[in-house]
Amino acid sequence: MGYSRQHFYEIRHNFQVHGAEGLLDRLPGAKGPHPNRVAPPIENAILAHALKHPTHGAQRMADELMLRGLQVSSGGVRGVRIRNKLQTRHHRRLRLEETVRKCKIKLTEEQIQALERFDPEFRECHIEVHATGELVAVDTFFAGTLKGVGKV
């Protein structure tokens, strides 16, 4: 494997200045946290809001935090969610279930509804009835028309 003269001198210089660490390939980009990352208090507020309202989207969350006086964009909210593995509603609901299991917190009506919709047993029962007599027939559907029989 051959090296150009210039590349050899760069490698030698890196070894002389940094030792064996200088021979490792370094990835380009910011070292450590990105300079445009949101501040820790805002990140904590985003995580708390995601726990309280697991079904809110990034824009709605940014708008509600703006009303509380916290300046953050929807992209910033999305970045915090990705870093904390909360990018989908599914992940946020799992976090809510885990938090309820670990420490007994009182759930709001919105959180209860989000967890019920997330439950597979609730999903199989896909018809919601709010009053008696609201639902009359469930098992009827139009399959087609058969010759000599009519509508089925």
Is pTM beyond 0.85? Reply is: no
DSSP readout, 58-77? HHHHHHHHHHTT----HHHH
Q: What is the per-residue pLDDT for 65? A: 95
Q: How confident is the model at residue 77 (pLDDT cuts 50, 70, 90)?
A: very high
* 3 neighbors 11 (Cβ within 8 angstroms): yes
Q: What is the per-residue pLDDT for 105? A: 78
How far is C-alpha 85 from the chain's CA centre?
6
